[in-house]
Amino acid sequence: MSDEPSDFFALPPFKADEALVKLRRDLRELKALSEKGTGALLRFDWCGLPAVELSVAPGDQAALAVALAKKPGQRPDWRKQTLTSSGDVRKFTDEVKRSLKRWDDEA
């Protein structure tokens, strides 16, 4: 055991596959989104239009590749991100919630 104080406060390693399961669950709980697809790329639609895409980052099992549409459409303009910690996942979930509220207000 090391006497380094930083070892005591070290965060557990980020597990992308477990984070993906939790993120999918959180997004399904948002009634405005419906999940599509079961392969490597998961898509969530809002009012039948693509709004969110999720996948494990290619070649990196310690990161999630996510994309959020600026505005849902048949060919949306995606804002892509790579999530590498549980804090990033929480921020992304909050960003999706804000976007859903904005889209509902605009509709």
pLDDT at 6 (0 to 100): 61
**Cα 106 from Cα 85, distance rounded (Å):** 32
User: Do the beta carbons of residue 66 and residue 80 sit within 8 Å?
Assistant: yes
Mean pLDDT per segment of 10 residues, for the chain of length 107 residues?
62 85 92 84 92 85 91 92 93 95 86
Minimal CA–CA distance to 77: which of 41, 49, 101?
49
- Entry pTM: 0.84
pLDDT at 78 (0 to 100): 95
Record the tokens describing residue 80, joined without a space.
């892509």
User: Do the beta carbons of residue 16 and residue 63 sit within 8 Å?
Assistant: yes
Beta-strand ranges (E) seen in 8-102 are: 33-36, 42-46, 49-56, 64-69, 78-83
